[in-house]
Structure 1
Amino acid sequence: MTKGEQTRQHIIRQAATVFNQRGFTGSSISDVMASTGLQKGGIYRHFASKEELALAAFEYAQSQSTSRLQAAVSAETGAIRQLLAVVAAFRAITSNPPVPGGCPILNTIVDSDDGDPALRARVREVVVGWEALIAGIVEAGLADGSVRAGTDPQVVAAVMVASLEGGILLSRAHRSTAYFQHVAQHLAQYIERDIAA
């Protein structure tokens, strides 16, 4: 990796924390400068705009969470164990976030809703990818008989993603991980009681 590529990666990692903690609209290039130790020209040598930097920073942040989620699923076999692994991965990500500031997907969804359309579109793609991962697990379980017949993969995906992200939101609002733990426990029961064949 060249020195320029190393600098670019340093900017992205530091900006990911800044944007994840303060939001896109609440962050300035001055904040990124303070975090990276670089001057404005040093940042704009690598990124044409704050929007371009925000996209790169989000991509870095979400990839840290998504790769953990995918690794947890890949480490298990069978639909039910994989669905439980999704819950466990979210629990691990919540207790030890890969980027300071909490879940980058939740933070960016809220922050970009009325903001940068490119960032909002990318966040949506990530959420759709998570839903597709979960729905695919359920479809495989339907095919091998480990998931109860008649289970709707899209409904399971929506319930799980909404519950997990909602649990993160409530835990942050109340400054207590107990809220997420309740959601995780409920989802585990839902998977074992209502989804397993």
Structure 2
Amino acid sequence: MQKGENTRKHIIAKSAELFNQKGYSASSLSDITELTGIKKGGIYRHFVNKDEIALEAYNYAGSVVGSKMQEAINQQETASDKLLAYLHIYENVVENPPFIGGCPLLNVAIESDDGHPILRKRAQQGLEATLAKMQAIISQGVESGEFKADLDIEALATFALSIMEGGVMMSKLEGSNRHIRMNITSFKAYLKHACLR
């Protein structure tokens, strides 16, 4: 790998950490230069503007979390346990999140809701991709006979992602993992009583 590509990847990785902790709007180019040790001219050799860095940083953070998520899912056999794996990777979100600063999708979705259409679109794509993966897991559960045949696949995926993101948000805000852990327990009970055959 060439030095220029290494530099670009370094800027993206460090900016991803910065944006996921501090937020896009609150982070300046000076923050990026301080964190990376690269001067503004060096940053602009690799990126047109801060928006481009933000999109690449979000992609990077999402890929890190996505890899950890897929690894956790691959270790499970049942559809129920695969869905629960989404929540389990955040069960220590306060001390040990899968990416520094918490969930990139949640952070970008909240920050970009009204103020940054480019980031909002990227967050929407992340939302759609995550829901599609969850729906695929649920569909496999229906096909294998694990889940009820008349299960509303889309609704269950939405519910699963909502309690994951809600638990992450509440736990991060309070500084305690208890909310995400309560959601794991509640979701496990819900799957057992409402979804399993």
TM-score, reference length from structure 1: 0.94
- The separation in 2 between residues aligned to 1:57 and 1:73, in whole angstroms, is 24
Alignment partner of 1:4 is 2:25: no
Q: 1:138 to 1:99 in 2, by over 3 A?
A: closer
- The separation in 2 between residues aligned to 1:139 and 1:35, in whole angstroms, is 44
Q: 1:175 to 1:124 in 2, by over 3 A?
A: same
SS at 2:46's partner residue? coil
- The separation in 1 between residues aligned to 2:174 and 2:60, in whole angstroms, is 28
- The separation in 1 between residues aligned to 2:178 and 2:46, in whole angstroms, is 42
User: Does structure 1 retain, via aligned residues, the 8 Å contact 2:148–2:195?
Assistant: yes
Aligned to 2:136: 136
Q: 1:135 to 1:56 in 2, by over 3 A?
A: same
Aligned to 1:145: 145
Please provide the CA RMSD for this pair.
1.5
> Which stretch of structure 1 is more off in the superposition, 142-151 or 55-64?
142-151
User: Does structure 1 retain, via aligned residues, the 8 Å contact 2:92–2:177?
Assistant: no
> Which stretch of structure 1 is more off in the superposition, 86-95 or 153-162?
86-95
- The separation in 1 between residues aligned to 2:84 and 2:179, in whole angstroms, is 18
- The separation in 2 between residues aligned to 1:81 and 1:99, in whole angstroms, is 22
Report the CA distance between 1:131 and its aligned residue: 0.9
- The separation in 2 between residues aligned to 1:31 and 1:155, in whole angstroms, is 41
SS at 1:90's partner residue? coil
- The separation in 1 between residues aligned to 2:146 and 2:95, in whole angstroms, is 30
**Which structure 1 residue ranges, 5 or more long, are not aligned?**
none
Alignment partner of 1:26 is 2:26: yes
- The separation in 1 between residues aligned to 2:90 and 2:190, in whole angstroms, is 16
How many residue pairs are counted as aligned between the two chains?
A: 197
> Which stretch of structure 1 is more off in the superposition, 30-39 or 79-88?
79-88
User: Does structure 2 retain, via aligned residues, the 8 Å contact 1:72–1:85?
Assistant: yes
User: Does structure 2 retain, via aligned residues, the 8 Å contact 1:47–1:53?
Assistant: yes
How do residues 89-108 of structure 1 correspond to structure 2 at under 5 angstroms?
Answer: 89-91=89-91, 95-108=95-108
- The separation in 2 between residues aligned to 1:98 and 1:60, in whole angstroms, is 13
CA displacement, residues 68-94 of structure 1 (integer Å, 9 cap, x when unaligned): 112222222232232232332332666
User: Does structure 2 retain, via aligned residues, the 8 Å contact 1:16–1:99?
Assistant: no
Q: 1:103 to 1:149 in 2, by over 3 A?
A: same
Aligned to 2:38: 38
SS at 1:76's partner residue? coil
User: Does structure 1 retain, via aligned residues, the 8 Å contact 2:69–2:86?
Assistant: yes
Aligned to 1:155: 155
Alignment partner of 1:87 is 2:87: yes
- The separation in 1 between residues aligned to 2:71 and 2:115, in whole angstroms, is 32
> Which stretch of structure 1 is more off in the superposition, 86-95 or 178-187?
86-95
Q: What amino acid does structure 2 have at the position aligned with 1:59?
A: N
Report the CA distance between 1:111 and its aligned residue: 0.8
User: Does structure 1 retain, via aligned residues, the 8 Å contact 2:94–2:171?
Assistant: no
SS at 2:5's partner residue? helix
- The separation in 2 between residues aligned to 1:36 and 1:196, in whole angstroms, is 49
